[in-house]
Chains A and B, each alone.
Chain A
Amino acid sequence: DTGVSQNPRHKITKRGQNVTFRCDPISEHNRLYWYRQTLGQGPEFLTYFQNEAQLEKSRLLSDRFSAERPKGSFSTLEIQRTEQGDSAMYLCASTPTGGRNQGELFFGEGSRLTVL
């Protein structure tokens, strides 16, 4: 499968615990995005990377959230001291910067977080 891969697909945790999600983008895509989606809402931008550089981070992202893309390939999104309001689907997307599909976001299946 050459699509965007995310894991774990589901994560249930207790309030106050830390969680980490991983995203493996399509190999030739150098831009990678993280979005958050709650029920009945559109994807909400969190952050994005050009290769290993984090170019923008949403003001909505508190200090409890951190994302990395250390070698410009896979990315991780960590949430520290989780709160019930963090419960959502976390979507990763990648995009090529050239070619026929330039700019198109290719989404993964998402990682659903439930904070009890």
Chain B
Amino acid sequence: GENVEQHPSTLSVQEGDSAVIKCTYSDSASNYFPWYKQELGKRPQLIIDIRSNVGEKKDQRIAVTLNKTAKHFSLHITETQPEDSAVYFCAARPGGYQKVTFGTGTKLQVIP
């Protein structure tokens, strides 16, 4: 089955700096890669996703890149703000609507 590894487990940045979270996956059949943000005590919520036919996707201060050959994808947050502080999970899913496998999470702290 799919195995998703995520690094780093914790990340502290100064407000206004950029943050990068990296993930690798094992199943070459995976073609959908979502990122979820989970604030303390809240449910995970989708912030951005990318499909395998696209190498990069951007939404305001958030961008995701995908390298299918290397089986890794990354989340980039620019101009970080205190409200970006949360746990971020990457995930991968093979074709169709099979199970989504999550990484172990990155706790991001943005220091004002």
Contact = CB atoms under 8 A, between A and B. Distances in A.
Interface string B4-41: 00100000000000000000000000001010100000
Contact of B46 (A40, A41, A104): A104
Contacts of A82: none
Given A107-B45, A108-B43, A109-B43, A43 B89 contact: yes
Interface residues of A, number: 22
Interface in A35-69: 35, 40-45, 48, 50, 56
Contact of A105 (B34, B98, B103): B34
A26 interface: no
Nearest to B100: A105
Contact of B32 (A48, A97, A103, A108): A103
B44 interface: yes
B44 A45 contact: no
Contacts of A110: 43
A97 B103 CA distance: 23
A31 interface: yes
Nearest to A4: B43
Nearest to A101: B46
B100 A42 contact: no
B104 A42 contact: yes
Given A103-B49, A110-B43, 7 more contacts: A35-B102, A43-B44, A44-B102, A56-B98, A105-B36, A105-B100, A109-B42
Interface of A: 31, 33, 35, 40-45, 48, 50, 56, 91, 95, 97, 103-105, 107-110
Q: Which 4 A-B pairs rank lowest in CB-CB distance, beginning with the nearest? A: A42-B102, A107-B43, A45-B99, A43-B102
15 contacts: A41-B104, A41-B105, A42-B103, A42-B104, A48-B99, A97-B97, A103-B49, A104-B34, A105-B34, A105-B36, A105-B44, A105-B46, A107-B43, A107-B44, A109-B43
